[in-house]
Amino acid sequence: MARATAAPLSVEWDADHAVTELYREHYRPLVRLAALLVRDHATAEEVVQDSFVAMHGAWRRLRDPSKALSYLRQAVVNKARSVLRHRAVVEKHAPKALPDAPSAEHGALNLLEREAVIRALRKLPTRQREAIVLRYYGDLSEAQIAHAMGISRGAVKSHTSRGISALRSVLEQTT
């Protein structure tokens, strides 16, 4: 604080005059104090202004007007604590951010790509289409596919490989 002690205030002063003098002398140091406590200059100014308003309202109840600066400092500290408690409660109950969701355009593009793959699958010979669908959509192993289709594992590999090559060339032509 620039000046630790205030000039004694006359008991005869009314609240308006006393608060005006205190404001003129101690507003800036009190704002610096509040800013250090609340870490925000605009909020610090509000805290100090509210403290001055409270002092003005309580001036008649102030037993020793020479301790008005101490009253103001304590009011600033208490109001700063109140601001910090309020912030903590607000942060605690703040809504959680929604997870990033794909955009509508992304969904539309995926749908178009899926439809293109389905159209390309329909153009494949039956055995190749079955092998690819069971492998990549059914997530079956080569042995499970061979058993489901009633063919050897080597035939599954052959149908899957040829089907993938055919799909690739059909899809490259459409894009």
pLDDT per position as a tens digit, 88-145: 999 999 888 777 777 788 878 888 888 888 888 999 999 999 999 999 888 999 999 9
The pTM of this model reads 0.51
pLDDT tens-digit readout, 36-66: 999 999 999 999 999 999 999 988 888 888 8
Examine the domain organization and report whether 23 and 69 are in the same domain.
Answer: yes
Examine the domain organization and report whether 18 and 84 are in the same domain.
Answer: yes
Question: Is 104 contained in some domain?
Answer: no
Examine the domain organization and report whether 21 and 80 are in the same domain.
Answer: yes
Structure tokens at 111: 């749908």
Structural domain boundaries enclosing 46? 13-92
Number of H helices, E strands in the chain: 7, 0
Domains in the chain, number: 2
Query: Is residue 141 within 8 Å of residue 102, measured between CB atoms?
Result: no
Question: Is 131 contained in some domain?
Answer: yes
Examine the domain organization and report whether 120 and 65 are in the same domain.
Answer: no
Using CA atoms, how far apart are residues 122 and 136, in angstroms rounded to an integer? 15
Reported as a pLDDT band with limits 50, 70 and 90, residue 175 is: low
